[in-house]
Amino acid sequence: MRRRGAEAKGAATCLGCVATFVLALCGCSENVVIDHAGPVANWRAYGADIHGTRYSVLTQITPENVAALEIAWTYHTGDFDSGEETLAGTSFQNTPIVLGDTMYLCTPRNKAIALDAETGEERWVFDAEADTEGMFILACRGVSHWVDEHAAPNAICRERIFMGTVDARMIALDATTGRPCADFGEAGSIDLSAGIGNRMPGEYGVTSPPLVMNGLLVTGAMVLDNIRVDAPGGVVRAYDVRTGALRWSWDPLPPGQMFIETVDEYGEPLRYRRGTANAWSLLSGDPELGLVFVPTGNTAPDYYGVIRDGLDYYSSSVVALDVQSGEVVWRFQTVHHDVWDYDVPAQPVLFEHVGEQGHTPALVQATKLGHLFFLDRRSGEPIFPVEERPVPRGGLEGDLLSPTQPFPTRPAPIHPASFDVDDAWGITPWDRAHCRKQIEALDFAGIFTPPSERGWIQYPSYFGGTNWGSVSIDPERGLLITNTSRMAAELRLIPRAEFDAGVEEAARRGGAPPPWEPQAGTPFAMTRSFLLSPWGLPCSPPPWGTLVAIDLSSGELRWEVPLGTTRDLAPVPIPLPLGTPSQGGPIATASGLVFIAGAMDDYLRAFDVTTGEELWRARLPAGGQATPMTYRVSPGGRQYVVIAAGGHSMMGTKLGDAVVAFALP
């Protein structure tokens, strides 16, 4: 049996003592008065709503009482792996959804779970029994929900939960029982790998929840980076939400190109062009305009563009598709001919822009570069000017890098663009000197430094900037909130002969091959890692992570604060407020709070949305590399703030399987 009621009661009692002590220190009253007159609200989608705003109208938890938050309950999924069973270990990046009084979530190896939203009691578990052999990425960021308004109130599968799997299936479950919906696909499942040309374990799967809109389920998929030129295709497909029948597919080929169905090397049907830009992150939608907004990745492989021949027309872009047909309505490219893995990782977020021209239905697209593009979501036209600025040319023989790249003028980039040897950072002169030596040995000509065999610095790195946590919108105060990571990375292209020799030597010795990414089908493999001192700390100057607020009307920076401390970063277990890289994003509430975890110390935090002042933090049982959520299910009930605390295997944070709910006492 998993720990439930007793654990929650004991934790609440213990944390209640701590909360009382904290309140006494700050001069607050121990008797926290809970306002039950405020609104009730669910968290209906991964990003709170179909627009991805990550905003809640709830007001019970306020800047004045947030310091009294305590653990209400904790649930353990039982699904985590430190890397002993799999290649890389699990990453619990999930953001649950709440409909009515039920919470739905998924685990890294694709268990779908339903809980009582107020007590954390388990209602059902469905194990998709995903095949995880050979996988480097084990994550399920969320599930999606749909109600068939035409079905009888008690009909089976009237309410459905949809979950994509790491082994490339889409599963429909009855929301009440957790049983597969027999009328969807084949016995409740669709095989998304059909026609893709997918043969390598773990190279193709779904890690983000699908978009459900206008009777359609729309999904992209994750394609593992830098494996081969002929990677599985990045097609986006829409399925009938009732039957699972394919309604349309968008094969992201340049205008004028088409792909005729063939067979792959195994004689299986190949319906979509291989190597195209995929959509591994979250989609958003505007039902009134009938548009689906798709953030795209890179054409395969990431760091070699010589043989793309224009195939990257839709790479590193946000693309608006007609929801009924899948036809492209507009596209805005954030990086031209991307050979840096600066793909678009964040969900496009919809908001109403109020400016000199009045109200504009807008979209903000955050990128790894720390760029925030404000676009008219009807046309894709920038709301603020975007300048095409000259960038370095050169690079590999035969590759034609773009002479310019797009830079937003407002908001200004929220990540520094310059980095040189004088920026080397260290705790002591010794490790700072070591960082200087590393920097001197690498090329850096700005954020678009051409890839090379010598090696180059990426700053921002392939990690971001902003990543899949995206942004939160506070419409009441006209603010955008987001977090950034600020770490430099070192990368190098490895000639094929050197790569082959390294693999052969490892095989001869019976050891593991070098941690190089093959980029099969090109003259170069590649390697990448973060630029670190001998102490394991970044060579780039702090803060290494920030939380920022942007004025939605003017695009001006309102505030910026470091996010995270060094408490859980060996060998410095001292909580220096230097900020850390983060994964997962923020949420905002109508009461004026921002909640965020994400950083590499194991805390959930609350900030004042107007000032950036940290008002509260709580220790988590594992890394909080997920986006939190909040809900209140009944007029007499409490508002809960929930975070998945299970860590991130590739970031090296503490792994676990906890879902932790906080509320006022």
Please identify which of the residues 79, 225, 338, 341 carries the catalytic annotation. 341
Residue carrying structure tokens 């959520």: 629
Buried b (16+ CB within 10 A) or exposed e, 566-576: bbbbeebeeeb
- Altogether, the residues listed in the chain come to a count of 665
C-alpha span between 270 and 279 (Å, rounded): 19
Cα–Cα distances (Å) from 93 to 98, 216, 351, 585, 624, in that order, read 17, 25, 25, 10, 8
- String of DSSP letters for 96-116: -EEETTEEEEE-TT-EEEEEE
Is the omega angle on the peptide bond into residue 543 within 30 degrees of 0, that is, cis? yes
**Contact indicator for 292, 220 with CB cutoff of 8 Å:** no
Sequence-distant (≥ 6) Cβ neighbours of residue 516 within 8 angstroms: 494, 499, 502, 525, 526, 527
Tokens of 176: 């009440």
Tokens of 525: 């493999």
Residue type at 152? A
Q: In whole angstroms, what separates CA 661 from the centre of its chain?
A: 21
Is the omega angle on the peptide bond into residue 408 within 30 degrees of 0, that is, cis? no
Listed residue (621, 626, 630) closest to 662, CA to CA: 630
Clarify whether 551 is annotated catalytic: no
C-alpha span between 539 and 533 (Å, rounded): 6
- String of DSSP letters for 150-198: TS-TT-TTSEEEEEE-TTSEEEEEETTT--B-TTTBBTTEEETTTTTT-
Tokens of 253: 């080929």
Residue carrying structure tokens 């960021």: 141
Q: Over the Cα atoms of the chain, what is R_g?
A: 24
For the four alpha carbons of 534, 535, 540 and 541, in that order, the dihedral sign comes to: negative
Catalytic residues: 341
